[in-house]
A and B are shown apart, each in its own frame.
Chain A
């Protein structure tokens, strides 16, 4: 297929740079799991500090900490300025959400907990 190429430059999945001619903003779309048949679901459990009942939230509907906290706060009837979001990662550690880029967060989060700001 590439017999004409005398010099091969490092490329993407299929080894050809810039083909198909799709801009980077569109490639991101595909890698974010938006492709292959509509939105997938990634449900994680979420609890509110002091509240025994756990809920579930679909992380794939969110792409920023802002929208996630806003939705979670509403879910528990709180104002998003009064709460902080923490999460348990794959290693079992509880961390404050917001320090790592969103993509890494989604890959590592096991469960969520909203705590009240003191």
Chain B
């Protein structure tokens, strides 16, 4: 048992942060820095005590986690299912950070970092964070919600009482990426006291309202270590040069709205300010771009490794002009305004490209508003030899194109294709796209993440089950013919950790034939499929270490027959039994929860 356990630990040690349930024991996440030289069990245990990552918050109960590791410096929690990003998870589902922070405040005095993803974080949580940890340095709230700018003011201000005791305030990073924040006022920024000089990273791009500009300016001016600054849309372009003058050391910049009335002095100030930023390697922001102001960034283009123009509603010639000046580009996010022509130019200019993401400018319109097709992606797959990660929204695809892409780029590790119309066939042959995706999983042997779309039969899942042995995350929508599709995936994909499915005819048989597989995975999401309530109950009976949650907003789950289909199903492994924060429209299928709850002692003595 111990050898298996150690072998898995080694896997984690060399790779990503993650948490695994191995033979009933939780393996803590490990992030290895230069200091760790040994991979011995004791070294790992020591590191475990410093940093905790929990990929699914309900895997362990609070008490267990807290008791084991009092020396914790860093906590990273991910909560809601990924499909919450697309409004498939109803409000009130759960994911409240408050109980966690109450416990942490009590027992983790040395906590320095909190990173949360898809959680409900209230102002009370933020206030508690601000008061509880004297060494607190890093707060990252990714796709979170439930807090307002008042809570941010508490974070900013908290050094006020700390400063009385300590020499300087140590907040290093405040990153609110894509969170939903209730914007009560822009004055929260003014709460950073003058003694706060340690800021290295500030990401407020998700905030809607205007912050107090002079407070922002002063904060930036007294933060010599500021490397990342992502402004929000409300910061006017005319003022950007003022900020850049005070932070020429920036490595990553997110602009505010990139528009202003055309005035020569504004342009020249901006161009000059950019030219002073000799360390700048990443640019983002670019809402509302006025193309005449784009040349102001040309002086930094040759250095750029990362460029996010996915909010820039500029046409193909303007986008192309920028990207072709960035020979060192590794990561590009754009709207489909770039069109095939722009992608072709990209493939010739950006030979170091690793990641490409193309978003739809008008996703709800059936007819193409831009000339972007599968050809653009084919061109990039031909010209960019280091391309590893793709996210591509388009309106047409063919098996031939997918096969070409697969043969060109066997080094792909992430391939997410979204053909906008559900069940769209190969536009040339009108056949399903089974063979095309089959080629992808056949050639790209390191593929870890795959998102499918278009017309697909059970055959594609047979290919995936047979070939995609390194696949860890799979997203399926409007695909397949029968249970066999799901069966192929569950029985074949050895490395599968996360599976999310919507609107597919997958049902009871595949699920119940593969119950033990589910305990090796982090989670399974199925919505609008053909799974019955009875099957969910049977699944829960067979697998006591799984939480089988049925979400049904129609109400009356208790009076439904076992034959009735469930709206949404979320299954994940746990050692803590049913969670306690479920709303009325979610039911755990566990018939005997108290008998099945595992005790801490039993778990760690195995």
Contacts and interface: CB of A to CB of B under 8 A. Distances in A.
B248 to A, nearest CB: 24
A20 interface: yes
Interface in A50-77: 57-58, 60-67, 70-71, 74-75
A92 interface: no
Interface residues of B, number: 55
A66 to B, nearest CB: 4
A73 B565 CA distance: 61
B311 A20 contact: no
B206 A18 contact: no
A104 interface: no
A22 B363 contact: yes
A21 B290 contact: no
Interface stretch (B46-54, B59-67, B276-284, B502-510): B502-510
B502 A18 contact: yes
The listed residue with most B CB atoms (<10 A of its CB), out of A9, A14, A57, A67, is A67
Contacts, number: 130
Contacts of A9: 553, 567
A16 B86 CA distance: 11
Contacts of B233: 63-64
Contacts of A63: 233-234, 257, 287-288
A5 B503 contact: yes
A29 B311 contact: yes
Contacts of A1: 422-423
B178 A25 contact: yes
Contact of B234 (A34, A37, A38, A67): A67
B288 A34 contact: yes
Nearest to B393: A20
Contacts of A12: 364
B85 A64 contact: no
B238 A4 contact: no
Contacts of A96: none
Given A7-B528, A18-B88, A61-B288, A30 B361 contact: yes
Nearest to A32: B288
A75 to B, nearest CB: 7
A27 B178 CA distance: 13
Given A23-B85, A61-B261, A14 B502 contact: no
Contacts of A71: 236, 238, 260-261
Given A38-B315, A64-B210, A67-B236, A20 B567 contact: no
A18 B87 contact: yes
B369 interface: yes
Q: How large is the interface on A (under 10, 10 to 19, 20 to 34, 35 or more residues)?
A: 35 or more
A13 interface: yes
B340 to A, nearest CB: 17
A35 B362 contact: yes
Nearest to A12: B364
A17 B178 contact: no
Contacts of B475: 21
B244 interface: no
A6 B565 contact: yes
A79 to B, nearest CB: 14
Interface string B341-368: 0000000000000000001111110000
Q: Do most interface residues of chain A lie in helix, strand or loop, or is the interface mixed?
A: loop
The listed residue with most B CB atoms (<10 A of its CB), out of A5, A21, A26, A37, is A21
Interface in B561-601: 565, 567
A60 to B, nearest CB: 8
B447 interface: no
Contacts of B234: 63-64, 66-67
B314 interface: yes
B62 to A, nearest CB: 30
Contact of A22 (B260, B359, B503): B359
Contacts of A7: 528, 554, 565, 567
B420 interface: yes
B238 A70 contact: yes
Contact of A35 (B178, B206, B361): B361
Contacts of B360: 20, 22
A34 B313 contact: yes
A17 B565 CA distance: 18
Interface in B494-521: 502-505
Nearest to B505: A4
A67 B290 contact: no
Contacts of A75: 261
Interface string B259-281: 11100000000000000000000
Nearest to B529: A4
A19 B261 CA distance: 37
Given A7-B528, A18-B87, A39 B313 contact: yes
A2 interface: yes
A28 to B, nearest CB: 10
A36 B369 contact: yes
Given A26-B359, A35-B313, A21 B210 contact: no
B306 interface: no
24 contacts: A1-B423, A4-B503, A6-B528, A6-B565, A18-B83, A18-B502, A20-B364, A20-B418, A21-B475, A21-B477, A23-B85, A23-B178, A24-B87, A34-B288, A34-B311, A34-B313, A35-B361, A35-B362, A37-B315, A38-B313, A39-B288, A57-B261, A60-B288, A70-B236
Interface of A: 1-2, 4-7, 9, 12-14, 16-27, 29-30, 34-39, 57-58, 60-67, 70-71, 74-75
Interface of B: 83, 85-88, 178, 180, 206, 209-210, 213, 233-234, 236, 238-239, 257, 259-261, 287-290, 310-311, 313-315, 359-364, 369, 393, 418, 420, 422-423, 475, 477-478, 502-505, 528-530, 553-554, 565, 567
